[in-house]
Amino acid sequence: MKPIYFDNHATTPVDPRVLEAMLPYFTEHFGNAASRNHSYGWTAEDAVEKARKQIASLIGATSKEIVFTSGASESNNLAIKGVAEMYAEKGNHIITAATEHKATLDTCKHLEKKGCRITYLPVKGDGLIDLDMLRDAITDKTILVSIMYANNEIGVVQPIAEIGKLCKEKGVLFHTDAVQACGKIPVNVIADGVDLLSLSAHKMYGPKGVGALYVRRKGPRVQLTAQMDGGGHERGMRSGTLNVPGIAGLGAACEISQNDMPTESVRLRGLRDRLRATLEANLEEVYINGSMEHRLPHNLNMSFAYVEGESLLMGINDIAVSSGSACTSATLEPSYVLKALGLGDDMAHTSIRFGIGRFNTEEEVDYVAKKMIDVVNKLRELSPLWEMFKEGIDLSKVQWTAH
Amino acid sequence: MAYSDKVVDHYNNPRNVGSFDKSRADIGTGMVGAPECGDVMKLQIQVNASTGVIEDAKFKTFGCGSAIASSSLATEWLKGKTVDQALEIKNTDIVNELSLPPVKIHCSVLAEDAIKAAIDDYKEKQGAGAPAEAVTH
């Protein structure tokens, strides 16, 4: 039996309707969208322009403002490095947050080495940034604020419209990595005051390897220094032959998500709340990480105190989820996102992220909840920390032999 | 991460889970690791004072599957050994028996430390041998 897939923040399966939209562009309509002098090229170009409209419609943009990329990591790189280079004369200061995706953080670190000054805003205990702190961080050298729309681990949704308003007041460009939000909750670049926005197909039931960057054309007209040189595709901002089937898939994924969002988000929220309620009703000492109020409808991130995350995953090996435990990461460090919320390493080690998706069912939620409860109880019987907690020992006062 | 069959077996059927009354004179208790490091092992031995043989052993572990398996295996190996024989158990024996990958070697080190800490605690209670040393690694 295939494991139940509850890791929809990592990636999503391609919706069959999306696949349908892509297939003709592999074999039958294989043309290069940049070929201007024959029908193969025109057909490919039509597909690309249709997708551009579908994407623009999802985020309240115009189709000329959409630049295709290989995914959100590339979009983030292009937005941040592109602005840093283009506006270098205006300033060299960029503001981002401690809980951003590595594609943003590592891009900023790269720029730091090249002489930019980066402010990494801390977040509050609920995972949200403090707007006053952002306001205070902006200087006359600040050229860009890059704050993600929704977090990939804890699903918290930042106050994007307020950030957009503040950036506009201060005359600073605003980029948001909206890869987890697009297609899941309403996103509108006008209402949100966003100047640059990254999105990716594979997080919304589209194919991997294709994404887009929204680049505002009016009020202000944002310019970028290209990070990929070549044939001058995408208004010179991103050279490279367009991935026509992928782009057709991204477009279809956006249209489907836009149409289904009102019902889908309600359904997923119901499933998520059912999972949470069952876990909380049957287990003591479980804690939600991040704001429940400002959160994606399909995300749940919980710490199961006194049970180590990797051993938990081992017990639920017929369920695909991820953990903030160090043991599951390449670096052997627990999740930097959870640590930024002020969680101790001990609680970060016990966290599990559930990402419920379009193809999950209520039966699956009930199965996952039951399995989690069984395994947590079993591992707590094994846990010396649980035993000490039950004896009333304050674990923070124990002298541990750190190693 | 793929686990060896033996790790999976110990995880699914951990041996000798539980606790002894640590105030008893014939019980040695070792607790090593730290919650913020992601693993804590408690290992206890029950020793026959006249023969020096470990007659029973129990453990509880907070940690990954390899940490659980390492401590479960340690309790199996301890039973029937004398205290001196038990001191000869090396972390590399555990690594080999469980086919632990390099990234999990620290779990076996922790198990060896837990054995030593339990024996030190027992010896200290008996008033014989060297006083318990702090475990550092």
Give per-residue pLDDT as tens, B62-80.
999 999 999 999 999 999 9
Does B64 contact A314 at a Cβ distance shorter than 8 Å?
yes
Q: Mark whether A271 and A165 lie in a shared domain.
A: no
Does B106 contact A403 at a Cβ distance shorter than 8 Å?
yes
Q: CB distance from B53 to chain A under 8 Å? A: no
pLDDT for the residue numbered B36: 83
Q: For residue A271, what is the domain's CATH number?
A: 3.90.1150.10
Domains of chain B: 5-125 (3.90.1010.10)
Q: Mark whether A148 and A81 lie in a shared domain.
A: yes
Asked if residue A401 is part of any domain, the answer here is: no
Q: Mark whether A268 and A304 lie in a shared domain.
A: yes
Q: Domain count of chain A?
A: 2
Does B37 contact A345 at a Cβ distance shorter than 8 Å?
yes
Q: What is the mean pLDDT of chain A?
A: 95
Q: For A163-187, what is each residue's pLDDT tens digit?
A: 999 999 999 999 999 999 999 999 9
ipTM surpasses cut 0.95 = no
- For residue A402, name the pLDDT band (cuts at 50, 70, 90): low
- A72-86 helix and A102-113 helix, angle to the nearest 10 degrees: 30
pLDDT for the residue numbered A323: 84
Does A386 contact B62 at a Cβ distance shorter than 8 Å?
yes
Residues in chain A: 403
Statement: residue A315 has pLDDT above 70:
yes
Q: What percent of chain A has pLDDT over 70?
A: 98
Q: Mark whether A70 and A188 lie in a shared domain.
A: yes
Does B11 contact A311 at a Cβ distance shorter than 8 Å?
yes
Q: Per-residue pLDDT averaged across B44-53, rounded?
A: 95
Q: Per-residue pLDDT averaged across A79-97, rounded?
A: 98
Q: Which of B11, B34, B68 sits opposite A401 (nearest CB)?
A: B34
Chain A residues whose beta carbon lies within 8 Å of the beta carbon of residue B132: none
| Closest-CA residue of chain A to B106 | A403
Q: Which of A308, A311, A384 sits opposite B60 (nearest CB)?
A: A384
Q: Per-residue pLDDT averaged across A294-306, rounded?
A: 97
Statement: residue B130 has pLDDT above 90:
no
pLDDT for the residue numbered A94: 98
Supply the range of the domain harboring residue A53. Answer: 16-257
Chain A residues whose beta carbon lies within 8 Å of the beta carbon of residue B3: 314
Residues 6+ apart with CB under 8 A from A61: A55, A189, A197, A214
Query: pTM value?
Result: 0.91
Asked if residue A163 is part of any domain, the answer here is: yes
pLDDT for the residue numbered A345: 84
DSSP letters for A131-200: HHHHHHH--TTEEEEE--SB-TTT-BBP-HHHHHHHHHHHT-EEEEE-TTTTTTS---TTTTT-SEEEEE
Chain A residues whose beta carbon lies within 8 Å of the beta carbon of residue B1: 310, 328
Q: Which of A306, A309, A401 sits opposite B33 (nearest CB)?
A: A401
Q: Mark whether A151 and A237 lie in a shared domain.
A: yes
Final residue belonging to a domain, choices A257, A277, A294: A257
